[in-house]
Amino acid sequence: MRILHYPDNKRLPVLLDLVSDLSKANDPSQVLRAFGMGWSKLAGSSGYISLSCRGLEPGEYRITRMLVLDSTLMSRGDNLWAPSGELPIHTDGLLGQIVRGAKPVIVQDLDVKDDPVLGDSIAEYCSLTATPLFDGGEILNWAISLSQDPSVHTEKELEDVLLRSNLVGGTVKHVQTAKKLREVHQRIKDEVEKIANIQRALLPETLPDIPGLSIAARYQTYDQAGGDMYSFHPLGTGLSHTIKNPDGRWAIFIGDVSGHGPAAAVVMAMVESMLASYPMTPDTTGQVLDYLNKHLCSKRIYSTFVTAFHALYDPATRRLTYSRAGHPPALWRKPGSDGANTGDIGAANEVDVEELEAVGGLPLGVMPEETYEDASVVLEPGQTLVLYTDGIPETRSPDGAFFGTEGIVRALCDCSGEADCAVDTVMQHVRKHEAGERPQDDQTLVVMRVLGKHALLT
């Protein structure tokens, strides 16, 4: 086996530089400049003319750009890649003759002076090769190579130039398309970021000070914008949350729009707006879900739906009234229980965890005639309520196993039950389960811990 490097070949380093520069080009003019500079080194004193026939009648052309002897790219018009309506249309001269022929040609003993279109601009050149550039099977452009050597252009070179020019033309087109895609992607990214900022503005800026409760929350979107939300509103407040006729109760809401991304964020913003504009102080949580469901069903949100858990909490009595619309049941952590409660799904270290699943209904936005019932429990000091979206139990490990509700329960049994501790422990277990994999959905967790009797209203 022999490895040959051809150290005496002077053209290979030039070609390597050329293909390297072409691979780094992110603008069409950079492609042409790299090609022109590289080819000028290979061919000696040379020039380049580019013609466009796009959108013109047969035999008509526009001169879009030229590469002259000093390898300076001269452009016509303010933007080479914009529609060239401002560039003059020609039919005359040597170039018109070439365009009308519609075939690759070599012109030797070139003598072009006082050309009706070019004037004397190529008078110093002695030969040229003209090759058509195809797009969609039509000749829409021409590449014309000029040389001061009257015999440099050959039939073999014409074959090479035909392929080379069309490949470079394809590179220009792909680079131009890639540039447009980058610009569009950046605009979309900027718009999505605006949506994400608006969505984050709808979440509580700070967690409320509800008498007798400590509260912690964690919110993470799958993408820039997501479809999860949670909120706390004191009843009897207006849209600005200024107190009008407070009755001491708090409305607590957590929701999850199907899917994720900007579309889900927009639907969740709709839900937040509907919640904030609910026209009366509700007697039950089911009334609120009925209201949201009917309004969402009346909107054209196509196959999108919303799961929700809505609760009213009275600090004076510690009574929590709740309704569910296709949302995972809240988890009720009760330390020191005897484990005999109906619905217990976990018991460890003298801790029992129960699901609040006495009531439930279809997700919002599915059936306009759906109605939602409510149930209530009384929370005792030391107990913890955990609300979450399905992005947490549906977290997958690298081998595809779900974290599950059982994973949340295990985490709750491993913590003190304090709100901050519960949030931190659950999310630590989730991250361990993911083992570095990216979450596949938005993840929201809200934890409320009932404090001792001294912190309750009397």
Query: What CATH number matches the domain at 11-180, 3.30.950.10, 3.40.190.10, 3.30.450.40, 2.60.120.10?
Result: 3.30.450.40
Per-residue pLDDT band for 244 (boundaries 50, 70, 90) equals low
Q: What is the pLDDT of residue 37?
A: 65
Residue 414, Cβ neighbours under 10 Å: how many?
16
Written as one letter, the residue type at 272 is: E
Domains 11-180 and 203-455 share a fold: no
State CA 66 to chain mean position distance.
40
Q: Which two tokens stand for residue 163?
A: 């392929």
Q: Would you say residue 122 has pLDDT above 50?
A: yes
Model pLDDT for residues 23-71, shown as the tens digit of each residue: 777 766 666 666 666 665 665 557 888 888 988 999 999 998 877 554 4
Please state which architecture CATH assigns to domain 203-455.
4-Layer Sandwich (3.60)
**Would residue 23 be called left, alpha or beta, if left means φ above 0 and alpha means ψ between -120 and 50 degrees?**
alpha
Single out the residue of 447, 207, 450 nearest to residue 316, CA to CA: 450
Q: What is the pLDDT of residue 340?
A: 39
Q: What is the pLDDT of residue 61?
A: 95
Q: Are 345 and 413 in contact (CB under 8 A)?
A: no
Single out the residue of 365, 202, 193, 342 nearest to residue 290, CA to CA: 365
| Domain definitions of the chain by residue range | 11-180, 203-455
Per-residue pLDDT band for 220 (boundaries 50, 70, 90) equals confident
Per-residue pLDDT band for 209 (boundaries 50, 70, 90) equals very high
Residues 6+ apart with CB under 8 A from 153: 106, 107, 108, 127, 128, 129, 145, 147
Model pLDDT for residues 160-193, shown as the tens digit of each residue: 666 666 666 666 667 777 777 888 878 877 777 7
Model pLDDT for residues 305-334, shown as the tens digit of each residue: 999 999 999 999 999 999 999 999 999 999
411-418 — which CB contacts under 8 Å span 24+ positions?
Answer: 412/331, 412/333, 412/346, 412/351, 412/353, 412/384, 412/386, 413/346, 413/348, 413/349, 413/351, 413/353, 417/333, 417/335, 417/351, 417/382, 417/383, 417/384, 417/449, 418/214, 418/384, 418/449
What does the alpha-carbon distance between residue 102 and residue 403 come to, in Å, rounded to a whole number?
67
The Cα angle at residue 258 between residues 257 and 259, in degrees rounded to 5: 110
What does the alpha-carbon distance between residue 140 and residue 172 come to, in Å, rounded to a whole number?
14
Tell me the three state secondary structure of residue 137. coil
Single out the residue of 65, 93, 95, 96 nearest to residue 78, CA to CA: 65
What does the alpha-carbon distance between residue 31 and residue 36 come to, in Å, rounded to a whole number?
8
Tell me the three state secondary structure of residue 124. coil
Model pLDDT for residues 290-301, shown as the tens digit of each residue: 999 999 998 877
Single out the residue of 241, 287, 296 nearest to residue 268, CA to CA: 296
Q: What is the pLDDT of residue 440?
A: 78
Q: 62-67 and 73-75 as β-strands: parallel, antiparallel, unpaired?
A: antiparallel
